[in-house]
Chains A and B, each alone.
Chain A
Amino acid sequence: GAGVSQSPSNKVTEKGKDVELRCDPISGHTALYWYRQSLGQGLEFLIYFQGNSAPDKSGLPSDRFSAERTGGSVSTLTIQRTQQEDSAVYLCASSFGVGGNEKLFFGSGTQLSVL
């Protein structure tokens, strides 16, 4: 596709339910990032995939959060047993090559609301 695609754009769920958020990066981009944007908190790094390397999971806030990237392309972020504090916009980004010095291309995000 022309850009980073995220789905769904909005997700409303009940506390305790599991949710899956999808990210389809730009074709050919080897790096994929998940960030969380909460009001007044900026962009909080969650997890980073780079090629076939082991992902950097250092930003995941708890073991309820996990992510995978299949075939070096599409990624799914899973939140188990959602809590109200998980409500936020979840942003996916991709880039060519290694992270830290590359331009990131962001998707429009998934607005997650936990009731």
Chain B
Amino acid sequence: AQSVTQPDIHITVSEGASLELRCNYSYGATPYLFWYVQSPGQGLQLLLKYFSGDTLVQGIKGFEAEFKRSQSSFNLRKPSVHWSDAAEYFCAVGAGGNTPLVFGKGTRLSVIA
């Protein structure tokens, strides 16, 4: 069965600084990988997803993520963080077929002035 690890529980960055949120997965084959964001008082929203092809995927709100098979990682990045990016970020892995997504425990992002 697949699993996801998000090593950082909480990260604080300054507005305008770059951001990288880590995600490591465990799965025997090529996984389907996702990043979701949960803003305060709002439901979870898909930021981006990787299925195949180009290992650098672009998402909404200026986010991107890179799939690195050799490191079993799918880290989320943004070159310049805005205060509105403060939220909880979840990495998820899917095995395809008739199976549910497995989510990590999330990373809470705080943005300071």
Contact A104 B101 (CB under 8 A): yes
Interface size on B, residues (CB 8 A): 27
Instruction: Give the distance in Å from the alpha carbon of A3 to the alpha carbon of B44 in the complex.
Output: 12
Q: What is the bound-complex CA distance between A45 and B105, given in angstroms? A: 12
How far, in angstroms, from A110 to B43 measured CA to CA in the complex?
11
Interface range, A side: 20 to 34
In this complex, what residue of A is CB-closest to B45? A106
Query: Which B residues from 28 to 85 make CB contacts under 8 A with A?
Result: 32, 34, 36, 42-46, 49, 51
The total of Cβ contacts below 8 Å across the A-B interface reads 71
Knowing A91-B44, A106-B44, A108-B43, the reply to whether A100 touches B94 (Cβ < 8 A) is yes
* Chain B hits for A99, CB < 8 A: 94, 97-101
Residues of B within 8 A of A (CB): 6, 9, 32, 34, 36, 42-46, 49, 51, 90, 92, 94-106
